[in-house]
Amino acid sequence: MRRYGIDVTTTVEAGLRGTPDEAQLEFARKTGRIIVTQDRDFLIIANSGETHRGIAYCQKGKRSIGEIIESLVLIYEVLTPEELVGKVEFL
């Protein structure tokens, strides 16, 4: 993603590895980031009415890393950050 000029961080870089989903969601909210995940729990969070900047979800094992990156780059190019708020994009 960085090769495409997209500002990304990982849970490891943010010091959030192993933290609860809610803590990761709070970090994303505070830093204005969407969450990219294969964790279905984030779909439950999204449906609970919890505010979020956007979630990009891919079911584990359904797409290659290359396909996921292509989808994320397309989302980045087509949608504004405001259009992603509160939405889930399925990859």
Q: Domains in the chain: how many in total? A: 1
Average pLDDT rounded to a whole number, residues 10-26: 93
The reported pLDDT for the residue numbered 49 is 83
What is the distance between the alpha carbons of residues 59 and 45, in angstroms, rounded to a whole number? Answer: 16
Are 53 and 84 in contact by the 8 Å Cβ rule? The answer is yes
The reported pLDDT for the residue numbered 69 is 95
pLDDT in tens, 37-89: 999 999 998 888 888 999 999 999 999 999 999 999 999 999 999 999 999 99
Q: What is the span of the domain harbouring residue 81?
A: 2-90
Task: Report the 3 state secondary structure along 6-40.
Answer: CCCCCCCCCCCCCCCHHHHHHHHHHHCCCEEECCC
The reported pLDDT for the residue numbered 62 is 93
Are 79 and 53 in contact by the 8 Å Cβ rule? The answer is no
> pTM here?
0.89
Token code pair at residue 55: 């979630």
